Amino acid sequence: MDHHDQPMATDAPPAPDADANAPSSAAPLTSDLAALRKKIDSVDAQLVHLLNQRATISVQVGKVKQLASESSGSTPAPSGSSSDVYVPRREREVFEKVVRLNHGPLAHEAVVAIYREIMSASISLQQQVAVAFLGPAGTHTHQAALDRFGDSVLFVPISTIAEVFTAVEQGRATYGLVPLENSTFGSVAQSLDRFMTTTLQIRAESYLPIHHHLMSNSTLHTIRRVYSHPEAFGQCQKFLDTHLSVSCF
């Protein structure tokens, strides 16, 4: 093609103004967004009112429990150790009920998570609940405690399983959460042994998927030593045997 066949800029029709014929939708969209946010604000106000109404009833429930305990002549429990404030059966009933009532768009798991925190806050209003767990913070036991009790209770990290039992026995914690068994490495002997010498009873159980991660600045084939907890070694033994030839510490 020679230069005579090339379209010239001066011959091209002027580009249409992109905004000239476009419908003016910005204003209606802004108006719609403002109206929707106003609806959300209204719903939020109702939710806060209803949540506090529920919390007030929950406090009344706690008082009725306390009066019932006193009228029955039960021996008062040590400070912080009353087990009546958390009732797993009732919690399960509430979760099952809200799932039945839920027709979306929220997923059932989301509704249960919301109610987990609502009930956690209600428990903390009835009584200051302290949950001892095998620490430090960030352990699998800590995660299981959060999943079970929510964020509104006090979590107390304890360095050994035996001391978790002792903290509850002495009333320094309302509940204790310890590992009992896992699907790949069997039972946790320290927990089972301590149950043989305590008057404490299992009130509920939690299941937690466990995921381990191997951290290193080296490539996989150059790793010669791995440092970890014995439980993690047991749970990851198949991977270690398959992919690494290492010393475990």
Angle at 87 between CA 82 and CA 88, to 5 degrees: 135
- The first and second tokens of residue 240, run together, are 């270690």
Q: At residue 165, what are phi and psi to the nearest 5 degrees?
A: -60, -45
Contact 228, 210 (CB under 8 A): no
Mean pLDDT per 10-residue section of the chain, whose length is 249 residues = 41 50 58 88 95 92 78 52 71 93 94 93 88 90 91 92 94 92 80 91 87 86 84 83 75
DSSP-derived letter for residue 222 is G
Going by the DSSP 8-state scheme, the letter that residue 9 receives in this structure is T
Contact, 126 vs 57, CB < 8 A?
A: no
Cα gap 164→135, rounded to integer Å: 10
pLDDT given at position 76: 45
pLDDT tens-digit map of 34-93: 889 999 999 999 999 999 999 999 888 888 877 777 776 654 444 444 557 788 888 899
Pairing of strands 181-182, 130-134: unpaired
How high is the pLDDT of residue 220?
Answer: 83
Spatial contact of 116 and 150, defined as CB atoms under 8 Å apart: yes
d(CA 245, CA 93): 50
DSSP string for 227-248: ---HHHHHHTHHHHHHH---EE
The domain ranges of the chain are 42-64+76-210, 211-249
Q: How many other CB atoms sit within 10 Å of the CB of residue 164?
A: 28
Which pair of tokens denotes residue 146? 């959060």
Residues facing 133 on adjacent strands: 157, 177
Residue 249 and residue 247: Cα distance in Å, rounded?
7
Element at 154 (helix H, strand E) = strand 154-158
User: Which CATH number does 42-64+76-210 carry?
Assistant: 3.40.190.10
CA atoms of 116 and 146, how far apart (whole Å): 10
pLDDT, residue 28, reads 67
pLDDT at 72: 67
Q: Residues of 133-149 as b/e, b for ≥16 C-beta within 10 angstroms?
A: bbbeeeebbbbbbbebb
Tell me which residue has tokens 């430090």: 136
Distance in angstroms (rounded) separating the CA atoms of residues 202 and 175: 10
